[in-house]
Amino acid sequence: MDIRSLLTELSDAFNAHDLDRILVLFADDCVLEMPRGNAPWGARFEGKPKVREALASRFQGLPDVHYGNPEHFVDAAAETGISKWTLTGTTPDGVRKEVRGCDFYTFRNGKVIRKDSYWKIVE
């Protein structure tokens, strides 16, 4: 399994806003943890249908979202990778966002089983 290639493909698919292309890289029993939520881990979505809904919501909330300046780090022995990026986008009501963040990925058999997202809080 070439985790670096998977991270690059995930980055490209997210920037294309292509849910089908993204989710083909996720296992059926995947977990997505988003930064915002009412629990210490943010918001957790389990299984492909819930992950699809959460990602669709992300694209609706920032219709022009882009993950730029990607850097990918791999621990092949642990089947994990990290992608750092700068998120830019504009909310539907015109508020411009720019924030640095990262995603921690865990893989099994070439598929994402966990995506845990973090970003800086800009005040």
DSSP states of 55-107 as a string?
HHHHHHHSTT-EEEEEEEEEEGGGTEEEEEEEEEEE-TTS-EEEEEEEEEEEE
**Residue-range domains of the chain with CATH:** 3-119 (3.10.450.50)
Per residue in 105-120, pLDDT tens?
Answer: 999 999 999 999 999 9
Local structure of 40: helix, strand or coil: coil
Per residue in 3-18, pLDDT tens?
Answer: 999 999 999 999 999 9
pLDDT, the chain, mean: 96
Q: Provide CB contacts within 8 A for 64, sequence distance 6+.
A: 89, 90
What was the pLDDT predicted at 123? 84
Q: Provide CB contacts within 8 A for 104, sequence distance 6+.
A: 80, 81, 82, 114, 115, 116, 117, 118
pLDDT-above-70 percentage for the chain: 100
What was the pLDDT predicted at 122? 84
In this predicted structure, the answer to whether residue 76 has a pLDDT above a threshold of 90 is no
What was the pLDDT predicted at 33? 98
How far CA 23 is from CA of 1, 28, 68, 115, in Å, comes to 17, 9, 20, 12
Tokens of 84: 């750092």
Give the DSSP letter of residue 47. S
How far CA 96 is from CA of 2, 46, 47, 53, 108, in Å, comes to 35, 30, 31, 23, 36
